[in-house]
């Protein structure tokens, strides 16, 4: 592992660029990686929810991780999403990628099964016992149907290779609850751009961001200001991004952010795989207006 510092600040939940036939667009992927390196994004999460992991074949999942690592060339840390509903599959994928060059997995709570808190604890504990890969827990009840409660997070934080959590409930009380029960090395990332600044003001370490796909430098600056306590300055910057934070979820993620990246020339196509649909024509103007408010230039 080449990256030794504690992860803080703005981490991007990277989109997976695709061509008009739905194949992985390597040219755009390389461009995105370089964009985030230039913008000083802290780290890249690949093949997560925003990366359409649910629609990727197994071979594509592995290929995208390898390509991203190659394009990054140790200039930025790479974290791989693990979004499966069974413990055995999570172990299988963790072992597949543990020596690939990723610094950690972003490990989603099992969806559909609705496990108990003890089931969630055992799930992550057994994964940790079967791989050397560090885990960042990922709690997003709106998508998975289960909620990883603070007490369970605290118990899991005692396991050496469970290093943090992406908390995407939007419930700001979770920051205080979790911080009271974990040590200072356990990282807390917001998974909700809309409340990320408040999350950091309450003691969070940063955000794993959708908005960062299109406003990388702005998100980096906002997070850096927040982390040194300059919240008034961070607020003014974040105010320009608030419309984006909201409107990028006007339709199911990642359709809006993919269209925004296409509209600004970052990627060659806004293709998304079914069952997600490409952004409706009626919503494109809304996204354009939000990009303009944020000061992001549109492709002519």
pLDDT string in tens for the chain (300-residue length): 334 468 999 999 999 999 999 999 999 999 999 999 999 999 999 999 999 999 999 999 999 999 999 999 999 999 999 999 899 999 999 999 999 999 999 999 998 889 999 999 999 999 999 999 999 999 999 888 999 999 999 999 999 999 999 999 989 999 999 999 999 999 999 999 999 999 999 999 999 999 999 999 999 999 999 999 999 999 999 999 999 999 999 999 999 999 999 999 999 999 999 999 999 999 999 999 999 999 998 876
- The response to whether 50 counts as a known ligand-binding position is yes
What letter would DSSP give residue 24?
A: B
Domain of 63?
9-230
pTM, 2 dp:
0.95
The answer to whether 208 is annotated as binding is yes
CB within 8 Å of 281: residues ≥ 6 apart: none
Q: Flag whether 243 is in a domain.
A: no
33 neighbors 72 (Cβ within 8 angstroms): yes
Both structure tokens of 79: 């974290």
Residue at 134 is within a domain: yes
In a domain, 244, yes or no: no
Q: Is residue 277 part of a domain?
A: no
Q: At what angle do helices 26-39 and 58-72 cross, to 10 degrees?
A: 40
Cα–Cα dist 133/101, whole Å? 10
In a domain, 279, yes or no: no
Residue 272 lies in a domain: no
Residue 267, domain member (yes or no)? no
Residues with catalytic roles: 138, 166
Domain count, the chain: 1
Residues 6+ apart with CB under 8 A from 109: 115, 120, 123, 137, 138, 139, 140, 141, 144, 146, 147, 148
Distances (CA, A) of 119 to 86, 148, 160, 197: 11, 10, 19, 32
The CATH number covering residue 167 comes to: 3.20.20.70
CA distance 82 to 91: 9
Q: Is residue 271 part of a domain?
A: no
């Amino acid at each position: 592992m080449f990256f030794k510092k504690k992860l803080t600040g703005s981490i991007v939940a990277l989109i997976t660029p695709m061509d008009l036939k739905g194949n992985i667009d390597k040219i755009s992927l390389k461009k995105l990686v370089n964009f985030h390196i230039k913008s000083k994004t802290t780290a890249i999460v690949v093949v997560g929810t925003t990366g359409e992991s649910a629609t990727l074949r197994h071979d594509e999942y592995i290929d995208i991780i390898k390509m991203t690592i190659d394009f990054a060339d140790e200039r930025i840390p790479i974290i791989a999403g693990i979004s499966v509903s069974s413990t055995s599959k999570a172990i299988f994928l963790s072992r597949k990628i543990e020596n690939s060059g990723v610094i950690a997995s972003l490990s989603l709570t099992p969806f559909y099964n609705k496990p108990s808190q003890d089931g969630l604890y055992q799930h992550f504990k057994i994964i940790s016992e079967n791989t050397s890969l560090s885990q960042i827990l990922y709690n997003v009840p709106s998508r998975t149907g289960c909620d990883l409660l603070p007490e369970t997070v605290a118990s899991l934080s005692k396991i050496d290779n469970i290093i943090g959590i992406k908390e995407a409930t939007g419930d700001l009380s979770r920051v205080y609850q979790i911080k009271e029960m974990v040590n200072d090395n356990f990282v807390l990332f917001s998974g909700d751009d809309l409340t990320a600044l408040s999350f950091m003001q309450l003691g969070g370490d940063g955000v794993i961001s959708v908005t960062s796909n299109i406003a990388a430098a702005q998100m980096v600056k906002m997070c850096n200001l927040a982390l040194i306590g300059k919240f008034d300055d961070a607020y003014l910057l974040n105010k320009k991004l608030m419309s984006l934070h909201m409107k990028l979820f006007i339709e199911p993620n990642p359709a809006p952010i993919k269209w925004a990246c296409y509209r600004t020339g970052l990627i060659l196509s806004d293709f998304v795989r079914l069952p997600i649909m490409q952004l409706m024509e009626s919503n494109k103007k809304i996204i354009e207006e939000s990009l303009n408010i944020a000061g992001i230039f549109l492709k002519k």
